[in-house]
Structure 1
Amino acid sequence: MIIQLTTPLGDEILDLRAGDRVELSGRIYTARDEAHLRMKAEGIPFDPKGAVIYHCGPVIKDEKIIAAGPTTSARMNTLTGFILDNGVRALIGKGGMNSTVREQLRGRGVYFAFTGGCAALAASHMTLKGEHFPDLGMAEAVWIIELDHLPLVVGIDANGNDLFEKVMKHASREAQKRE
């Protein structure tokens, strides 16, 4: 079953479980390292209540999104707490996040995984709506994007269940069997 979600997100995300497949529609915002640092210093330039942040530096040409693959989310591990404290409900990226973020998400948010290498697929579900912090450049600016049924997987749920941690533990057990 694929769960349909639309931003802004509310308490419905608390019922999601790691491994659930979802399709997300509605407005999201891209943000990588520099955007997080700017938002922490100057404030979040959009209403964070129920918002979704996509760890992504899209390729934009002629005001269209050409490619929008995820950035490795672990780069934002130390920069995530304040956005969740301000009401952001979900993060999208690749590779998972650390145990600190997993605990920060507990009872209030989720981490959605999108497959790296599928930048054109992601872009096909997106319409550009605007931008904040253009001085940061294309990759680091905060882009305002309207999604139309972007396919995602819940990587970390609001109960602390983490697909990435589960896979690492399984891989470690399998590697030990071969030693």
Structure 2
Amino acid sequence: MEYHLKTPLQKEEILKLDIGDVIYLTGTILTARDEAHARILELTEKQEELPFDLEGAVIYHCGPLVQKKNEKWEVIAAGPTTSARMSKMTPLLLKNYNVSALIGKGGMDGVTDTLKGKCAYLAFTGGCAALAAENIKNVTNVHWPDLGMPEAVWELEVENFGPLVVGIDAKCNDLFSEIEEKAGKVVAGLR
């Protein structure tokens, strides 16, 4: 199925998604890579408040290329980064915050049970950095610029951002694992 959803996402919306569904998002998404995840968890451990709201949030595993034009940030490219790098930090992130969706490329290892009942992983095709930038209408804020451009948290206003494919749904179905299993059977049959 195809869904056009607005952020922040509601739990009911996440629960109806199935692997293979195509999603387009409108609203605000936050970029976060390794360093941003580490800082979020560090501040959480210190019980310090984050400068952005993760309630129902969508986190995009992305290190965008941005430039300032006429005192305003403009996104030049915003392709997904490999999500597996954030796999180890995701359980603690989701334990502490009500993040509703993660966007990235390549799937995530060992997070399927962590997503159960509350979050979906949405895959965006790698190599589509310019396409992604076309659907980003505005940079509303940047947090932690001291981490550097790709590692800072960018608040992006998006419109029909996608196509995104539900790679892991909130029912513990993992499209990447299913494809790997089917491919393994095909390869075994060729021997």
Question: What range is the shorter-chain TM-score in?
Answer: over 0.9
Within the candidate set 56, 59, 67, 2:65 is matched to: 59
Q: Which residue of 2 aligns with 1:33?
A: 34
Q: Which residue of 2 aligns with 1:177?
A: 189
Scaled by the length of structure 2, the TM-score of the pair is 0.90
Q: How far apart are residue 83 of structure 1 and its match?
A: 2.3
Q: Which residue of 1 aligns with 2:6?
A: 6
Scaled by the length of structure 1, the TM-score of the pair is 0.96
Number of residue pairs aligned between Structure 1 and Structure 2: 178
Q: Which residue of 2 aligns with 1:145?
A: 156
Q: Which residue of 1 aligns with 2:47?
A: none
Q: Which residue of 1 aligns with 2:146?
A: 135
Within the candidate set 50, 53, 71, 1:47 is matched to: 53
Q: How far apart are residue 82 of structure 1 and its match?
A: 2.6
Q: Which residue of 1 aligns with 2:166?
A: 154
Larger radius of gyration: 2
**Alpha-carbon deviations, 1:97-135, whole Å to 9, x = none?**
113x11100011100000000000001001211111000
Find the aligned partners of 2:181 and 2:139 in 1 and give their Cα distance: 39
* Divergent runs of 4+, >3 A: none
- Paired letter, 1:57: G
Q: Which moved more, 1:44-53 or 1:20-29?
A: 44-53
Which structure 1 segments of 5+ residues have no match? none
Find the aligned partners of 1:6 and 1:65 in 2 and give their Cα distance: 21
Q: How far apart are residue 160 of structure 1 and its match?
A: 0.6
Find the aligned partners of 2:104 and 2:183 in 1 and give their Cα distance: 21
What is the aligned-residue RMSD (CA, Å)?
A: 1.0
Find the aligned partners of 2:171 and 2:74 in 1 and give their Cα distance: 37
Question: SS of the residue aligned with 2:172?
Answer: coil
The question of whether the paired residues in 2 share the 8 Å contact of 1:48 and 1:83 is answered with no
Find the aligned partners of 1:177 and 1:82 in 2 and give their Cα distance: 40
